[in-house]
Structure formats: C-alpha cells, structure tokens
C-alpha cells in the first residue's frame, strides 16, 4: 500500500514519541502555576527540615530519634488534613540502638582527643578501657593462616584496621558539584550492583562475624576503623540489629587524619595507647519495624480506589542527623503532599505518602510493605491492590535540585515524563533517561511490576562529604533546591493522579532489586 508523505510523517512522529496517546498527553499548567506560587510564597520546607533533623536527631530504625521523627510526621500531616496518617508496622526488624556516650582519646605518647563515633549496635566497653594499639590490615584478618598464627598477639590490644593509605589526597577538585548538560544527556545506570557482587559481600560479612568472635575469644579489647578526611567520618554497620545475634567487640570509627597519625607513630616504633568509652542503649521491647503513611483521598468515584504513591526513607545513621540521607527526601515528599492538600486540588486518584524505615539495612521497610500490600516479585503472585497502583515516586540522592527522572527502561513512560517536565525547563529539570538507578526504595515497587521511579538530582557534596557521615546535618541542606524539588514532585504526583489512565507498565526485571550501601 502506498503511503503519502504526510501520512508517513505522522507515522514517524507517532513511533518516535513512543505512542500517539503519549503525544497527546495533557499537562495541567494551571495547577502547576498554583503549586509553584504556593511554594514560593509560603514554603514549609525550613520548618519540616528543622523538626526532622535538629529536633528529632538521628533516626536509626527503632531508635528514639526515629520515633520522634515518625510521630511528629504523623501528627503534622494530620494537622494538614491528610487522612489515615499512622505508623504502620511492616514485620519484624530487630533491636533499636542509641549512642549515649562515646569518647576516644590518645593517651601515649601524649594525650589528645580523637574524633570518633561508636558503630551502631556495638558492644559496650562498660566504662573506660585502655590498651596498646596494634595495626592490622583488613586483608590480613581475612587470611586464616595469619589469624591463626597471630591471635595471641591481640590479647589486651585495641586493633586499628588500616589499609595501604598513607596520606590524605589533595582537595584540588570541588567537593560540591552540579550536573552539566552533557552529563545529563548521557546519564549512565547508577547505583546498580550485580547479584554476584552482593553474594560476595554477604559472604564477607559472614566471615567477618566469625573473625570478630575469634578476636574476642583471644582477649582483644576493641576494634577501630578510620575513614574520611578533614574530620568527616562515615559511621555505618551491616549487622547487629537482629535480635539474638552474638555480642562482638566494642567498635568505633575514627577520622582518617587521626588513623593515619596513629599508624605512622606505630610504624616508626613508638608505643601508642588509646582509651575508649562506649555506652549504647539497646531497645528490645518492640522489635517490629514501622513506616509512616498518610493519604490524600481521591475525589473521583471510579478512580479513587487507585493509588499514586510517593516516598523516601526516614531512617538514618547516628553520627549526624540524617539531613541529606534521607531527611531531604522526606522533607520534599511531606512538602509535596502539603502543597497538594492545602491548594484543594482534589486529585482523582488517592495519593499515599510513605516514609520508610530499615532502608539502610537493605530496603527492609519498603520491601516488606510491598510484600504485605502488593505481593511477591519472586513468585509473581500479586494481590489485588497491585493492579491499582499507577506509580511510586522516590527521592533519595541528597539535597540537590531535581534535574530529571530515571525511567527505569520503561519506554512507554519516557515521552509522558518528557511532557510533564516541559513546565520546569526554567528550573533546570528536563532530562528523562531510560537508564536504571538502584540502591533505594523504588526498587521494591519495580520488583512487583509497579512503575517505580527515582528522580535525577544534582550530586552536590552527597558522596564527597555527607553520605552516612557526621557531616550529614541541616547545614548541608540546600533549601532552595528542596523547594524546587517539592514543586516538581507535587506536580508529577498530581499529573499521575489525574490522567485518564494509569501510567504504563513494563516487563519485570528482577535483577534490579539490590540492597542499599552495597
């Protein structure tokens, strides 16, 4: 059949845009103008940020700080007018923990405080302990021959794990950066970890647990690690929260500068002694994990049973106050639902916000929530509610402004999102990439074939300074960036809640489900 040049041009446009329907996507510019104006004139972001960080403190899952933040978020969203706001249990998590005391001091060859923090769920020292420091490389501890030969040397010693690093690298590159146009054009897959590497890492953790028990039995006093620069210390753990686990050694992380100094002193033949005091409190009365959830009910009789979800993880590590990881995501998501509710935009579908716990231990809160509500991605057996979720939108890459969104290989949704971003080109957000991003809670939804999306954000100093560190505090939040993000998230959620059809789905890709921090 012969096709006219006009018909050919129309067909070419349709196929290039993904679908004729996507080409005709409606964008509610009136609602978007209302959202932008409301955020510009009456933003609640500084207040939300203050209460989630400064007032609540760090938010390790099941710690007092987590429940301070969670209960405040529930009560605040109730006051805003959201319904069904609550702390929802998702299953067994384990022990809460909170650092009550921690000090590390150099005692010999002279006295000097050391920058240090207790590792979460560590054993206590039961008062101040003091001992000679011995330097051991992490690789040596994994060597069974080395360990068997040298175990007696660890009695009454404080072990400092130190690798090959001998100096702090020069800071000739900026700590804080924004994405360039060329970087946005070729966004790669990010934070995606192969299953083989995860299995290797899990095996390393099992080996480590056995080694700690051997060191403890040999009479070692404590275990220290060092990292970071300029007083920045990353403090995290991969185990210890599960009830019934064996108690290990007292453990702390100290600054990279202090660690290198101790190593040099020992290597030059000087005796080095440290004193260490760690007192942490465990919380075991309630070992269930909880997510914060709340809703804006849908207004359309036919569509209100369907859902559009948004969220970020509320839990954090204890050295800072979890401002950029992931207070920022929770701040933006709370502000987004506040905007939509306060403007009385009456979305057709129900909008549900979820602030997750247990993300830092492997997406535990979102994964369990998805299994409880939507089904099992491994077996492919889904619950009726799974078919009613249009999309889940996530934010969890720091405090940087939104520059676009990862479409997660969902070809059909790409042209839709491109049109939704048109009103925000002046705000720097215009990129839709088919690339995947991992290591956060949208993967739990992707796992059960629900469209789950993470926004592209400017990196700022997320990876270079604040991620899991003692510098993850309010001061490193970019408030104007968070305001921009709240406007875009609110608009995306509103568009998804009001479009005639749910967002298109893609074929499942099970290997995308990976854990945070690996």
Domain CATH for 274? 3.50.30.30
Same domain as 292, residue 265: no
Spatial separation of the C-alpha atoms in residues 350 and 348, rounded to whole Å? 7
* pLDDT tens digits, 70-108: 999 999 999 999 999 999 999 999 999 999 999 999 999
Same domain as 259, residue 149: yes
Quick one: average pLDDT of 247-252? 97
Counting residues of the chain whose pLDDT is more than 70, the rounded percentage is 93
Same domain as 241, residue 116: yes
pLDDT, residue 166, reads 82
| Whether 97 contacts 121, CB under 8 Å | yes
Does 13 have pLDDT greater than 70? no
Peptide bond into 219 cis (omega under 30): no
Same domain as 474, residue 333: yes
Does residue 383 belong to any structural domain of this protein? yes
pLDDT band at 262 (very low <50, low <70, confident <90, very high): very high
Does 247 have pLDDT greater than 50? yes
Does 9 have pLDDT greater than 70? no
SS3 assignment, position 22: helix
Spatial separation of the C-alpha atoms in residues 158 and 226, rounded to whole Å? 13
Does residue 186 belong to any structural domain of this protein? no
Does 514 have pLDDT greater than 60? no
The contacts of residue 201 (CB under 8 Å, 6+ apart) are 518
Does residue 10 belong to any structural domain of this protein? no
Average pLDDT, the chain: 92
Residues 476, 52, 77, 384: is their CA dihedral positive or negative? Answer: positive
Quick one: average pLDDT of 337-350? 98
Q: Which of 282, 305, 327 is the last residue of a domain?
A: 282
pLDDT, residue 508, reads 57
Smallest CA-to-CA distance from 375 within 309, 314, 438, 447 is with 447
Does residue 188 belong to any structural domain of this protein? no
pLDDT, residue 23, reads 60
| Whether 449 contacts 370, CB under 8 Å | no
Count of beta carbons in the 10 Å neighbourhood of residue 29: 11
pLDDT, residue 509, reads 54
Same domain as 370, residue 240: no
Domain count, the chain: 2
Q: Helix axis angle, 414-421 relative to 479-498, nearest 10°?
A: 130
The contacts of residue 461 (CB under 8 Å, 6+ apart) are 175, 176, 398, 476
pLDDT, residue 12, reads 33
pLDDT, residue 192, reads 87
Quick one: average pLDDT of 41-45? 98
Smallest CA-to-CA distance from 460 within 402, 381, 510 is with 402
pLDDT, residue 412, reads 97
Same domain as 398, residue 321: yes
Same domain as 397, residue 496: yes
Q: Which of 238, 259, 282 is the last residue of a domain?
A: 282
Spatial separation of the C-alpha atoms in residues 134 and 153, rounded to whole Å? 9
pLDDT band at 196 (very low <50, low <70, confident <90, very high): confident
pLDDT band at 194 (very low <50, low <70, confident <90, very high): confident
What is the residue whose two structure tokens read 């978007």?
A: 32
Same domain as 198, residue 109: yes
The contacts of residue 130 (CB under 8 Å, 6+ apart) are 107, 273, 274, 275, 276
Burial class (CB in 10 A: 0-12, 13-18, 19+), 4: exposed
pLDDT, residue 372, reads 98
Task: Kindly report the CATH number assigned to the domain that includes residue 352.
Answer: 3.40.630.10
Same domain as 333, residue 261: no
Same domain as 432, residue 351: yes
pLDDT, residue 172, reads 84
pLDDT, residue 245, reads 85
What is the residue whose two structure tokens read 């875009």?
A: 488
Does residue 370 belong to any structural domain of this protein? yes
Structure tokens at 94: 């384990």
Residues 284, 287, 292, 293: is their CA dihedral positive or negative? Answer: negative
| Whether 83 contacts 353, CB under 8 Å | no
Same domain as 102, residue 218: yes
Beta-sheet strand order (sheet of 116-118): 112-114, 96-108, 273-283, 129-136, 157-161, 222-227, 251-255, 116-118
Does 10 have pLDDT greater than 90? no
Smallest CA-to-CA distance from 365 within 482, 511, 516, 486 is with 516
| Whether 131 contacts 222, CB under 8 Å | yes
Same domain as 253, residue 165: yes
Q: Which of 226, 248, 282 is the last residue of a domain?
A: 282
Does residue 2 belong to any structural domain of this protein? no
* pLDDT tens digits, 474-504: 999 999 999 999 999 999 999 999 999 999 9
Does residue 4 belong to any structural domain of this protein? no
Spatial separation of the C-alpha atoms in residues 150 and 115, rounded to whole Å? 29
Does residue 360 belong to any structural domain of this protein? yes
Burial class (CB in 10 A: 0-12, 13-18, 19+), 127: exposed
SS3 assignment, position 175: coil
pLDDT, residue 421, reads 98
* pLDDT tens digits, 382-416: 999 999 999 999 999 999 999 999 999 999 999 99
* pLDDT tens digits, 442-486: 999 999 999 999 999 999 999 999 999 999 999 999 999 999 999
Go through the chain and tell me how many residues it has: 518
Quick one: average pLDDT of 419-426? 98
pLDDT, residue 204, reads 82
- Give residue 363's domain range: 18-93+287-512
């Amino acid at each position: 059949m012969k096709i006219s040049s006009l018909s050919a041009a129309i067909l070419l446009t349709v196929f290039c845009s993904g679908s004729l329907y996507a080409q005709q996507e409606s964008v509610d510019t009136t609602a978007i103008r209302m959202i932008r104006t409301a955020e510009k004139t009456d933003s609640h972001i500084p207040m939300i940020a203050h209460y989630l960080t400064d007032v609540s403190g760090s938010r390790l899952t099941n710690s007092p700080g987590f429940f301070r933040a969670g209960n405040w978020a529930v009560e605040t969203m109730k006051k805003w007018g959201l319904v069904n706001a609550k702390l929802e249990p998702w299953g067994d998590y384990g022990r809460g923990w909170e650092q009550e005391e921690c000090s590390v001091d150099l005692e010999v060859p002279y006295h000097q405080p050391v920058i240090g923090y207790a590792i979460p769920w560590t054993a206590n020292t039961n008062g101040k302990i003091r001992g000679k420091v011995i330097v051991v490389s992490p690789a040596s501890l994994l060597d069974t021959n080395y360990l068997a030969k040298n175990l007696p040397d660890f009695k009454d010693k404080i072990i400092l794990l130190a690798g090959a690093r001998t100096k702090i690298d020069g800071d000739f590159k900026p700590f804080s950066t924004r994405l360039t146009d060329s970087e946005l054009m070729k966004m790669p897959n990010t934070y995606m970890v192969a299953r083989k590497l995860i299995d290797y890492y899990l095996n390393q953790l099992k080996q480590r647990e056995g080694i700690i028990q051997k060191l403890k039995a040999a009479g070692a006093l404590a275990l220290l690690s060092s990292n970071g620069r300029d007083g920045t210390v990353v403090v995290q753990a991969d185990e210890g929260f599960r009830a019934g686990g064996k108690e290990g050694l007292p453990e702390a992380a100290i600054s990279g500068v202090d660690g290198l100094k101790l190593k040099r002193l020992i290597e030059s033949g000087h005796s080095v002694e440290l004193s260490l005091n760690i007192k942490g409190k465990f919380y075991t009365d309630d070992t269930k994990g909880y997510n914060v959830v709340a809703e804006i009910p849908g207004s359309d009789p036919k569509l209100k049973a369907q859902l559009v979800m948004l969220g970020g993880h509320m839990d954090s590590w204890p050295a800072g106050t979890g401002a950029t990881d992931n207070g920022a995501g929770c701040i933006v998501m709370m502000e987004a639902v506040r905007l939509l509710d306060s403007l009385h935009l009456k979305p057709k579908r129900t909008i549900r916000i979820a602030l997750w716990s247990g993300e830092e231990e492997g997406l535990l809160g979102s994964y369990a929530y998805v299994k409880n509500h939507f089904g099992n991605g491994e077996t492919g057996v889904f619950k009726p509610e799974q078919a009613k979720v249009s999309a889940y939108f996530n934010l969890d890459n720091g405090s940087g402004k939104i520059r676009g969104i990862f479409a997660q290989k969902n070809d059909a949704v790409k042209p839709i999102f491109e049109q939704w971003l048109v009103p925000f080109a002046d705000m720097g957000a215009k990129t839709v990439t088919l690339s995947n991003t991992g290591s956060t809670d949208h993967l739990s939804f992707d796992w059960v074939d629900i469209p789950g999306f993470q926004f592209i954000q400017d990196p700022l100093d997320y990876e270079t300074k604040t991620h899991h560190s003692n510098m993850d505090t309010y001061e490193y939040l970019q408030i104007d960036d968070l305001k921009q993000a709240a406007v875009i998230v609110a608009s995306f959620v509103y568009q998804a809640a009001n479009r005639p059809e749910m967002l298109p789905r893609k074929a499942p890709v099970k290997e995308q489900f990976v854990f945070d921090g690996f």
